[in-house]
Amino acid sequence: MRWSIRLGTIAGIRIEVHVTFLLMLAGVAFFTASGPRDAAHAAAQAAPGFRDAFHTVLHLVLLFACVVLHELGHALTAQRFGIRTREIVLLPIGGVARLERMPEKPSQELAVAIAGPAVNVVLATAFGVALFALGTPAVMILERAGGNGTLEFLLLANLSMLIFNLVPAFPMDGGRVLRAGLAMFMPYTRATRFASLVGQGFALLFAAAGIFVLRSPVLVFIALFVFVTAGEERALVQTRSSLTGLPVSAAMVTAFVSLETRHELAYAVDLLLAGEQRDFPVLEDGQLLGMLSRDDLLKGMRTEGPESPVGRLVRLDIAPIESSMPLDAALQRMSALRQNALPVVARGRLVGLLTLENIRELLLVLEARQRHAGLA
């Protein structure tokens, strides 16, 4: 994800933090340290504001460590079903595990969806046992969690994460559990539609609560995220359903331009301006090496200069797809990779490009044919 900083790798999964998360930590620390303090509190502690700021930031960092473990629960469970996770990104509103795709079988999706909340159950149990062993009275947990009680804070935080994530607001964990359960008894597309509409209903409730009850901009932002993402996933699943049974060759572009690694960026820009092609396969000695997107090309013009060779910017991680590959599976891969185009090969030879634009045009053609058949 853009504007993200890589923290490390766990089980082959990149862990990244978005710069907005770091800005949030800095803002929380500043406002906590500079907030008003009564005289008695100030006299009782040395530099009370900075001490409170330290504990607040520490709690937030530990909370998001729990978020990482939650997302790893999803990712490692998905790995058992052969689904790779590209990265886990920490955002101010939580964490996002970018799985290449969701499992096809409802039972597998159920396992992946429930794995994250299961991690919170384990963590909450561990913190609860630790507090019991320390002799902490149950009635004091809530009070200490609002102060500097780290174990108490983490116990309540994991319980809150558990409850919130199990709300059936698709595409949150509870919503995916709902879809998986529905998909066991009805078509996947219909189950997605029902779950997404339920999710959007909860998003409206979240927004109303954030505006009129809790006065929480964060909750309103989460509501917007849930509403938009639910609609996008519903549209994606419906699109995939329409493409079922068709091969990649039905939608690929066969009249395309490719680049050689020795070509200068200025030459690639000329091709970009001269036609409608936005993404270019890059060859080396006649063999497909990778892809160069419009965004990478324009960025390279700014940072590398027009005389820089294309080979310096080519993306090597964009694997080609076979022309016989199911088109719905290819679309799912494009969505997971966040790519507008993928190179298409047949018997190891580059034969075309699959672009989102051509898929959209194919969908329009299919819709027109269906309407004509209905009128005939």
The DSSP bridge partners found for residue 247 are 326
pLDDT of residue 44: 47
189, 241 contact by CB (below 8 A): yes
Range of weakest confidence among 78-82, 233-237, 296-300, 332-336: 332-336
Q: What is the mean pLDDT of residues 239-260?
A: 93
Q: What local confidence, expressed as pLDDT, does residue 47 receive?
A: 52
User: What does the pLDDT read at residue 43?
Assistant: 47
| pTM of the model as a whole | 0.81
71 confidence band (pLDDT: 50, 70, 90) = very high
Q: Three-class SS string for the chain?
A: CCCEEEEEEECCEEEEEEHHHHHHHHHHHHHHHHCCCCHHHHHHCCCHHHHHHHHHHHHHHHHHHHHHHHHHHHHHHHHHCCCCEEEEEEECCEEEEEECCCCCCHHHHHHHHHHHHHHHHHHHHHHHHHHHHCCCCHHHHHHHHCCCCHHHHHHHHHHHHHHHHCCCCCCCHHHHHHHHHHHCCCCHHHHHHHHHHHHHHHHHHHHHHHHHHCCCHHHHHHHHHHHHHHHHHHHHHHHHHHHCCCEHHHCCECCCCCEECCCEHHHHHHHHHHCCCCEEEEEECCEEEEEEEHHHHHHHHHHCCCCCEHHHCCECCCCCEECCCEHHHHHHHHHHHCCCEEEEEECCEEEEEEEHHHHHHHHHHHHHHHHHHHHC
* Residue that has been written with the tokens 């909860």 in this structure: 202
What's the pLDDT score for residue 1?
Answer: 61
- Indicate the length of the chain as a whole number: 376
Q: Give the pLDDT band (50/70/90) at residue 49.
A: low
Q: What percent of the chain has pLDDT over 90?
A: 63
From the list 265, 312, 251, the residue with the least C-alpha distance to 284 is: 312
* pLDDT tens-place string over residues 138-173: 888 888 887 778 999 999 999 999 999 999 999 999
Tell me the CB-side half-sphere exposure of residue 146, using CA atoms within 13 A: 4
Q: What is the mean pLDDT of residues 58-72?
A: 92
Of the candidates 241, 253, 201, the one whose C-alpha atom is nearest the C-alpha of residue 223 is 201
Superfamily of domain 248-372: CBS-domain (3.10.580.10)
Q: pLDDT-based confidence at 356, cuts 50/70/90? A: very high
Provide the mean pLDDT of the chain: 89
The pLDDT, as a whole number, for residue 48 is 53
Tell whether the torsion through CA atoms of 186, 190, 196 and 198 is positive or negative: negative
42, pLDDT greater than 60: no
Q: Indicate if the pLDDT at residue 38 is higher than 60.
A: no
278-329 pLDDT per residue, tens? 999 999 988 999 999 999 999 999 999 999 999 999 998 888 999 999 999 8
Output the pLDDT for position 35: 60
Look at the alpha carbons of 119, 64, 164, 108 in this order and tell me if their dihedral is positive or negative.
Answer: negative
For 63-79, what is the mean pLDDT? 95
Asked if residues 116 and 165 have their Cβ atoms less than 8 Å apart, the reply is: yes
| Phi, psi angles (nearest 5°) of residue 278 | -115, -20
Helix-helix angle 217-243:188-208, to 10 degrees = 170
On the question of pLDDT at 40 being above 60, the answer is: no
